[in-house]
Structure 1
Amino acid sequence: MKQESIVPSAVPSGPSGRPSRGAFQRVLHGIGIAIVAGEFPVGSTLPNKDVLLRRFAVSNTALREALKTLQAKGMVAARTRVGYWVRAQNEWNLLDEDLLAWQLEIGVDDLFIAGLFEMRQSIEPAAAALAAMRRSDAQVDKLRDLANRLRDAGVDRQRFTDVDLDFHLAVIEASGNPMMRSIGAVIGAALAVAFRLSAPTDSLAELDETHAQHLAIAEAIAAADPQGAADAMMAVIDQGSSRIASEIEPLDGTIEIRLHSRSSGSGVRAAD
């Protein structure tokens, strides 16, 4: 069968034969979710090219680029005369923003949740301590403003989520360590999980406490108090961890962690 008969004529493409972003994202998301959900299990070979082209109605170019992207994420590898196969989960780049989003989309278990918060506990207090030693006056002003905007968000859960993520990313920025920026996706995923079941916006008393805790981080950074900043950050992370129930259902609702919006236009979602 000729390849041209498989690809719909209406499949859009970009300049120079490049796939449209919509087609690329569709096939990337589809195969990625299928791998994470176990439809394509670890060690198995992906369906052949013709099957994937029919399933996602994309061009050869879009499929090829998606497979290269999944390979870069450590999820698949190519085998001569066999095709692509799914690698062991410990080979995946678990900090990748897309991978975290796919995990949240299908639902997460206690081990996954614990891993998210352990990552935060190991990095964010150190980032806060570094911020206390390196921050600029403008960065202190930004942190204070964001802390106050948490209180002003009131019962608007999406608005609160956006500001909370901005605050934690601002602390990392103030640390002066660009390598710590990679934890941004982990912070977003952890916030999505925490707010899936219970957000500070559900209680005015808890909202006030959360505002005070974030302001304490900002003030410790402003006072050039590394230990105080680290302790205040740990208190905030521990509070978020305490909201997590023992069982988490698939997350497919309306709270969005808009980390990608700062770069590529997509996001990590969590339910109300």
Structure 2
Amino acid sequence: MSLHAKLLDQLGQSIVRGDLAPGDPLPNADDWSAAHGVSRTVLREVIKVLAGKGMVEARPKVGTRIRQRSDWNFLDPDVLAWRYGATARFEDARSLFELRRAIEPMAVALAADRAGEAEVAQLEELYARMEHYVDDNERFAQADLAFHQAILRMTGNELFGSLAALTETAMLISFRLSDDNPYGQRPSLPIHKRICDCIARHDPSGARDALVELLDRAEADVSRSIAARRKSDG
């Protein structure tokens, strides 16, 4: 990871955690640069990125300050990752799945209506990879992610396609939050197969219902994992 990326990650997480509250000024540039071993140029570039995410603003004679949370772009993949970085609450998980439910059921219905033979074949191949790697969490997650991103592209709507990075972050967070699921990934395979089959036979309603069921199951797994971690932490 580059110095720029490391500093961006550190500062972004610090803001999201509340170490720096809305209205607070950013640390003195010279002190911050010296503490993190980066140049002022790198720091300025990081601040520009944070400003683009709505997290900070620079004003003449005032300096750079943290903006109100209502101004932040919570749909930005980095902000999503920082928000769910170290810990997560039930409320966080619910927000994450509310976001996915707002996007994916409609996308899968459109995919079922519009998918061509080549796209269906690609989705079936991705499902086969998930089935093959069902006991390998990392490789299963890669295939599962590709499966869901393929559905977004199959809508034929470029706006949905542009949501791939957003849903990627949301899914990776979901995987991380439920990686200790004692039931593993096998229970999700039949639902993924149903989604695939519904798309192949151009059944938008069936595909949407299966996708909602998949999200319900995934949210339950995440909530169960969060509860178990709370219990183990005492």
TM-score, normalised relative to structure 2: 0.88
Higher relative helix content: 2
Which residue of the partner structure matches residue 40 of structure 2? Answer: 60
**199, 216, 222: which one aligns with 1:244:** 222
Q: How does 1:3-14 map to 2 (within 5 A)?
A: none
Structure 1 Cα separation of the partners of residues 97 and 188 of structure 2 = 17
Number of residues of Structure 1 aligned to a counterpart in Structure 2? 228
Which residue of the partner structure matches residue 141 of structure 1? Answer: 121
Q: Secondary structure at the match of 2:58?
A: strand
Q: Secondary structure at the match of 1:244?
A: helix
Which residue of the partner structure matches residue 218 of structure 1? Answer: 196
Structure 2 Cα separation of the partners of residues 190 and 27 of structure 1 = 23
Name the CA shift for 1:197/1:34 in 2 (closer, same or farther; >3 Å).
Answer: closer
Structure 2 Cα separation of the partners of residues 194 and 66 of structure 1 = 27
Name the CA shift for 1:223/1:246 in 2 (closer, same or farther; >3 Å).
Answer: closer
In the TM superposition, what whole-angstrom CA distance separates every residue of 1:130-154 from its partner, at most 9, and x where no partner exists? 1112212111011111112111113
Q: Percent identity?
A: 36
User: CA offset at residue 192 of structure 1?
Assistant: 3.6
The answer to whether 1:121 aligns with 2:101 is yes
User: CA offset at residue 188 of structure 1?
Assistant: 3.3
In the TM superposition, what whole-angstrom CA distance separates every residue of 1:53-75 from its partner, at most 9, and x where no partner exists? 11221112211111000000011
Which residue of the partner structure matches residue 152 of structure 1? Answer: 132
Structure 2 Cα separation of the partners of residues 118 and 139 of structure 1 = 27
User: CA offset at residue 197 of structure 1?
Assistant: 5.0
Structure 1 Cα separation of the partners of residues 70 and 130 of structure 2 = 37
Which residue of the partner structure matches residue 261 of structure 1? Answer: none
Q: Is the 8 A contact 1:110 1:247 kept in 2?
A: no
User: CA offset at residue 167 of structure 1?
Assistant: 0.6
TM-score, normalised relative to structure 1: 0.77
Which residue of the partner structure matches residue 208 of structure 2? Answer: 230
Which residue of the partner structure matches residue 79 of structure 1? Answer: 59
In the TM superposition, what whole-angstrom CA distance separates every residue of 1:210-246 from its partner, at most 9, and x where no partner exists? 1111111111111111111111111111110111227
Name the CA shift for 1:115/1:183 in 2 (closer, same or farther; >3 Å).
Answer: farther
The answer to whether 1:102 aligns with 2:82 is yes
Which residue of the partner structure matches residue 5 of structure 1? Answer: none
Which amino acid counterpart does residue 234 of structure 1 have in structure 2?
V
Unaligned runs of at least 5 residues, structure 1: 1-20, 252-272
User: CA offset at residue 128 of structure 1?
Assistant: 0.5
Larger deviation, residues 114-123 vs 181-190 = 181-190
Q: Secondary structure at the match of 1:243?
A: helix
Larger deviation, residues 107-116 vs 156-165 = 107-116
Structure 1 Cα separation of the partners of residues 168 and 205 of structure 2 = 24
In the TM superposition, what whole-angstrom CA distance separates every residue of 1:141-199 from its partner, at most 9, and x where no partner exists? 11111112111113211111111111110100101122223443443344344434545
Name the CA shift for 1:227/1:116 in 2 (closer, same or farther; >3 Å).
Answer: same
Aligned alpha-carbon RMSD (Å): 2.3
The answer to whether 1:25 aligns with 2:8 is no
